Structures are given as C-alpha cells and as structure tokens.
Chain A
C-alpha cells in the first residue's frame, strides 16, 4: 500500500507539473478613451490584482491643448504696446503651430488675425512685400471680413480691403479633406459638413479630428481640385519586443499585452497577446469586442484570467529556447563589424594629410592713410 501511494503521488506530481509565476500585464489604449474602454481597463487591472500579476499601463498621455489662440492674444498685446519684435516672434510660433495642427484651437477670425497682425508687424518693420503676402493670406481665410475701424488704422483697413478684392478675383478650386468615417473635417477652422468647400486658390488650413487622434496641415490649393488625405491614427500599441523588454526588466518570464484598438465606427476591441519573454514565441491570443451596453468589462476580465491561467496553470509550457540561427551568433557579428570598420577607416587613412579646406585672401588695394 505504501509503495502504491508513493507511485500514485509521483505520477500525480509529474502530470500536474510545476506552477509558473504570473505574467507581467501591459495595458495600452488611446489617450482620452471612452467609458467602455475605461471600464475594461479597470476590469483587467482587477484581474491582475487577483492573480498577483504586475500591471503596467503604457497608454500615452493626451496631447497638450493647442496654444495658438493664447499666443495670438499675447502677440496682439505686444503689438498694441509697440513691441514689434516680440509680437513677430510670438506670431511666428503661433503660425508654426497652426501649420502643424491645421489651425487646431483657432476660430476662423483668430486664424485670419494671425496673418493680419503678422502683416501689420512686418509693415511696421518696413518690409511691404512680405506684409502684403500676409494680408493676402489673412484675406484668403476670410475674404468677406471687414476690419473694425476702431481697432485698425485706415491704411491697414484699406490694404486689407485691397487684398480681399484681389482674393475675391482669384480663380477658385475645391478642397476635399479625405478622412475616415467617424472623423470630423475642418478647412480654415470651419467644420466641413456636406459638400467640400470651393475656395480661392492659395494656402489653406485643413484638419481631421478622429477618435483618439487628430492631424492637420497647411496646404496649397493651386488648381481646380485638391484632395488631402488625412487619416490620423492613435499611437500604435506596444510591439511584442518592447513588451518583452518591459517584462525582462521586471524579471517576468511571460508578458500579457492587453491593447484596445478602434477602427472606423466599430466599437473598440481588446486584443490579448501572451508571449514568452526569452524566446518571443506566441503562447496564446484572444480578443473581446467592447459592445456598449453588454458585459464587455466582465468579458475582458474573464479573458485576462484565462490567459493568466495559461501562463501559470497545470499545462506544462515548453519554455526551452529554440536553436540559434547562424546570424544570431556573436562571433559572426564581430567579424562583420570589423570588416565594416576597416572599410570606413581605410579611405581616411589613405587620404590623411590632404587639405580639407582653403584660404580666402583677397587682394585689396592699399588704403591711403
């Protein structure tokens, strides 16, 4: 009996296998997520706590709010105080941000003001040609605008009217912002609802605001039609390699990446990927759709627990590393690096000592003292 019990115990021990430590759980979603994603995150974090697994959230921080409107107000203050250099520097910063973001955070009047004030500042500094360019760009954004005579001097008002007349006489073209369903399109800080606008030829600002991401630019409408594809995508979830590096730093042997993505108008989807840290092999995958009004959070928690069990459960996982291919052997890379270094340094060694530049010594006639 004693011998039989020992044999059964040994057989049971062999079949059950040794328990593995829990994986590192790495969570990622777009910044500013909707409520169902926030609930799913909480559910995954709760499952991690219950399993004794470390939980890391690598969701990027939301982008800082646009500053162009604040910079414009500061520039106007500098202009009114006759600090033209300061006003110009501030306006250039605001215009650079407007060009990068497609005039995010600006109203059409503010966008027109950016160029108008820049033109006025440049005119004060004596460069009429460049000032005219800015006045034309200000009028391009809002050709029907009439300057307030209480805010602007008569010469500025007359110059703007002249620029607006010229813009109104320009040929026109259609500007199309091609973006994905669920995104909002803007041209010159005005939302495009319906047909794409017909605008005077010149530089215009376009922007697409999609869930979790925005993109914008300043574009040149130079013909009868211009289509600008803007498909901003939220930052990509971490790759298997980067997640494995995080886990390695924390001493985990497996890593579970939980990434929430969204495309078009579909509800968000949670993707779960269980990977071996040492070899990078895929151990298990799962996905959960976060349908609003359903049991999405509970489904995400259940999927997390299932994969954690796969990592720590009775099923023995084959964690032995695969054989190394020849291109991963250190001595091969050492030889290659030596050859590349020699190829780079040899020409320098050969030409060492040759002049790398010349002197300029003009023959200036003697100056009478």
Chain B
C-alpha cells in the first residue's frame, strides 16, 4: 500500500472517530454589585465532578480566577454532580453545584445551570410571574424543582409556575387552578400534588371551595390540573401529610356546618387508585382528633413504612390547643398520646430535623400574640422540650422555615412581635449535646417579606418568592448555604 493510501486511511479513521461529548454547565452568578457576587477576593477556583452524595471526587482541577477550569476524560455515569468552589487562602468562600445529571456515550448531553455565589448570602433570583404574591402554595418536586400555585395579589391567583433548577428559570405553566386561600397542599412522591379545601371570595365573605385538585406540573397542558371530586372536603386551614406509602392524610380544619366555620376533628385519607389518580377521600371512621383544631401542623416523623404523623398546635373554638396527637397510618387511627406543647400556639411552623425530632417555631399564643419560643418534640423520649427563644427582630408568624442539606433550618422573613414584615434571616441548629437550639443570624433578605413561599432546590439552595409589595423589590431571592451536606 502506498504512502498516500496510508495517509488517506488514517484521515478517514480520524474523521470517523466519534467526538468526545462535552458537558458545559452554564454558570449563573449574582450581579457584580451584589454582596453575593462570588469572584470578589478569591485566589483559587476549583472545579470537580462526583457522584451525587459521594465525598470522593471523580476528577478535580484547580485554576486561578480568570482562567477556564476544565476536566478531561471523565467516565460516563449517572447521578453526576459538577461542583465549583471559590477559595481565598484555602478557605471556601463561594460555592455552587449543578443538580444531578446523567452523561452517557449515546445520549445528547443536556446543558445544565450551576448557581455560583458567595456562601451564606442571599441574591436576587429570576423574576416569577407574580412577584408580589402572598400565600402562594409551594412545594419541591423529587427532581428538585419548585412549584408555586395560586395565592393572592390584588385578588386571588389561579396560575401555576415551576422553577426549573437545571435551567435556572421560571416556567409559566398553562394549567389553571381554582382560587382558594387556606388550602392544604400535599406533595406526592412522583412530583404531583393534592390541593384540598380552602375558601375563596372577598375577605369577610369566605365561601368554602368544594373541589380537590391534582396538580401535575410536567403533564400535558390539559392534564396539569385535574379535579378529583367536585364535592370534596369543605375544609379550611386543615393540615395534610403525605404518608410513606403515597397516601395523604388530612386532619382537622374548619368546616361550615351551617353556623359558620367550626373546628373539625375529622380525619380523611386519600389513596392513589388505578392509573395513579387519587380516589375521592375516605373519612376514617375510627380516627378523629381528640381535640378538633385548625391552623395546626401535621409532620411525618420519618421515612420508614408506617411512619407516624404528629399533629401539633392549632386552635379550637376557645383558643390554642396544647395537646399533640399522633396518627398511626398502619392502624389508620390515633395512638394514646400524652405529650403537650409547653406553649400552646397556632400558625406556627414545624420542621423535621435529621435526628427525627421536630422543631416547633413561632406562631401565636393564647393571647393571640406572636410568640418567640422554640420547642422540640423528641420522639425517643416522647416529650416536648423548650430549646430557646428567637431574638428580637425575627419573624414570628408568616415566615418560612426550610431544612438545609446539612440539617440546619433557615428561617426567613415573616412578621415580628409588632406585626411588621422583617428582612431578617436566621440559621437554627439543634445541639444534641446539651439539647439547646443554636440561633445564628445570617445574611438578611433584600426587602422585608411576609407570607412568601420557600422551596429547597436540588442544588441545595433555597428559593423564596413573593411576600412583598415594595416597588423595585426582586420577585425572588436565592440563599446559598455552605457546601457542607450539599454533595
């Protein structure tokens, strides 16, 4: 074979060699004038890739700021996460990561976004469709996106939108929901959600909303909102919890029984039927709250099969309820349960902590005043314990409490003891050694907010939406926690 023939053969071989796929995350950063801008004063940029949840990196490269970090020859795989870290004198001061992606030989590599910002800082996020909404129902899907539904802004809202964490942008959804306030929202395991009860109409002329809706943010337009039952639960301010087996239990609330809305002790159960559509709810004949209540919380105690649901706080016809109750899904009834809140309250927040205990924050007390007390329910010894007090200037009602990847809790905004919206934010951490809650102030919001919505995203950041009417205020803000627990 001549030299020319060999050369032609080599060129042909090279031309036929498949190109190496490239994963090119789009790095989103806050504005350069923001305190969360990540490139200020850093002397090292570190790029790495690892499997989700793994501390060990598959590949790592370190460059000076201004240079372009790149990783070559990364093995194909599923559940891959790209990490970007900004350091100063070896200390991490900025961090961001993508959501998990799969990269294989035969698939087109999708472009993902990586939010990179100074840690423990808030920054303005993309503009949602309703930047001034309050009382918007919100939940995080298993894929790590945020879904925001309804609420009110100069009138009841009926829209839905999804924040796509991989694309870093809000996506307005064509589905339309019924206008309702005080509804119970229960996320399902597959990214859908149940919306139950509530009232509509002008303030002071509340009318119970009779239907229950199934929300499917990723379905075709005509299937995004489906009515489960036209005559569903006529409940306001009930509490719902999703069970491990996919069912949803709804307890308490207020029902219009002909003499105005009265506290109810009834407990209802939704179960997924054929084709994954929830059947109309079933009233549990042997399960009724010993203390009918509304404005309470229902929190599942864990992820094991049959994990119980703790009902805490709320108010009855007289005032706040101290008694807590425990719903046991395997028996479909309530257990004999004695523990009581130390400070009876309603409109509080309850957050499940990594050790299985439940943190109770804020709310209103027997005098209808915001309370700054913190309590924790310890399942292992079956008691409530006082664990501290929120500082002056903290939101006590209308705030959001979001669990962070490292097990701490982010409190943001709300109304203080004087009923004024605040921009303060705090990080709460339960110290298991001495049983107290460490409260540390963190970077505050850009503007005071109350009645806003918050969701944790798949990259470990927290996105809040709405809750303010201040002109020029960002419609959303995003909190960037430290990298601990975000692998």
Contact = CB atoms under 8 A, between A and B. Distances in A.
Size bracket, chain A contacts: 20 to 34
Interface string A325-362: 00000000000000000000000000001111111111
Contact of A357 (B20, B69, B355): B20
B277 interface: no
Contacts of A166: 380-381
Contacts, number: 109
Nearest to A159: B433
A359 B22 contact: yes
B170 interface: no
A115 to B, nearest CB: 14
A16 B74 CA distance: 77
B314 to A, nearest CB: 28
Interface in B406-436: 407, 431-435
Interface in A148-204: 155, 158-159, 162, 165-166, 169-170
Interface in B164-178: none
B103 A358 contact: yes
Interface stretch (B26-34, B244-252, B289-297, B388-396): B26-34
Given A129-B407, A357-B76, A358-B109, A367 B24 contact: no
A151 to B, nearest CB: 18
Given A166-B380, A353-B18, A355-B21, A361 B70 contact: yes
Interface string A304-342: 000000000000000000000000000000000000000
B257 interface: no
A165 B49 CA distance: 44
Given A128-B431, A158-B434, A354-B18, A359 B355 contact: no
Interface string B426-468: 0000011111000000000000000000000000000000000
Nearest to B59: A360
B82 A360 contact: yes
Contacts of A353: 13, 16-18
Contacts of B73: 356-357, 359
Given A359-B20, A359-B74, A367-B39, A123 B27 contact: no
Contacts of A367: 39, 65-66
Nearest to A366: B66
B186 interface: no
A131 B75 CA distance: 37
Interface string B42-61: 00010101000000000100
Contacts of A128: 431-433
A363 interface: yes
A108 to B, nearest CB: 23
B318 interface: no
B76 A358 contact: yes
A362 B16 CA distance: 27
Given A129-B355, A169-B380, A367-B39, A362 B25 contact: yes
B71 interface: yes
A6 interface: no
Contact of B433 (A123, A170, A366): A123
B431 A360 contact: no
A361 B27 contact: no
A359 B75 CA distance: 9
B105 interface: yes
B134 interface: no
Given A159-B434, A162-B435, A359 B23 contact: yes
B72 interface: yes
Interface string A202-218: 00000000000000000
B20 A355 contact: yes
A66 to B, nearest CB: 31
A169 B381 contact: yes
A361 B65 CA distance: 15
B84 interface: yes
Contacts of B17: 353
Nearest to A165: B381
Contacts of B49: 360
Interface residues of B, number: 47
Nearest to A362: B25
Contact of B354 (A129, A354, A357): A129
B2 interface: no
Given A169-B380, A170-B380, A358-B23, A131 B433 contact: yes
B27 A365 contact: yes
Nearest to A169: B381
A356 B18 contact: no
A107 to B, nearest CB: 26
B114 A368 contact: no
Contacts of A170: 380
A241 B407 CA distance: 58
A132 B435 CA distance: 10
B151 to A, nearest CB: 33
Contacts of B32: 368
A126 to B, nearest CB: 11
Contacts of A365: 27, 29
A135 to B, nearest CB: 8
A358 B27 contact: no
B303 to A, nearest CB: 16
Contacts of A5: none
Contact of A359 (B18, B70, B432): B70
Contacts of B5: none
Nearest to B438: A128
B112 to A, nearest CB: 10
Nearest to B383: A169
A362 B82 contact: yes
A364 B431 contact: no
A355 B18 contact: yes
Contacts of A162: 433-435
Nearest to A119: B433
A128 B435 CA distance: 11
B431 to A, nearest CB: 5
Nearest to B432: A132
Contacts of A354: 18, 105
A171 to B, nearest CB: 9
A369 interface: yes
B134 to A, nearest CB: 34
A170 B434 CA distance: 18
B270 to A, nearest CB: 31
Contact of A361 (B23, B66, B76): B23
B62 to A, nearest CB: 14
A159 B25 CA distance: 46
Contacts of B432: 128-129, 131-132
Contacts of B19: 355
Given A159-B433, A162-B435, A359-B23, 18 more contacts: A128-B431, A129-B407, A155-B433, A166-B380, A169-B380, A353-B16, A355-B20, A355-B105, A356-B105, A357-B74, A358-B103, A358-B109, A360-B49, A360-B59, A363-B26, A364-B84, A366-B66, A367-B65
27 contacts: A123-B433, A129-B432, A131-B432, A162-B433, A166-B381, A169-B380, A353-B18, A354-B105, A355-B20, A355-B105, A356-B73, A357-B76, A358-B109, A359-B21, A360-B25, A360-B47, A360-B49, A361-B22, A361-B24, A361-B68, A362-B26, A362-B69, A362-B82, A362-B84, A363-B24, A364-B45, A364-B68
Closest 6 pairs between A and B when the two form their complex, measured CB to CB: A132-B432, A360-B71, A358-B21, A357-B73, A362-B25, A169-B381
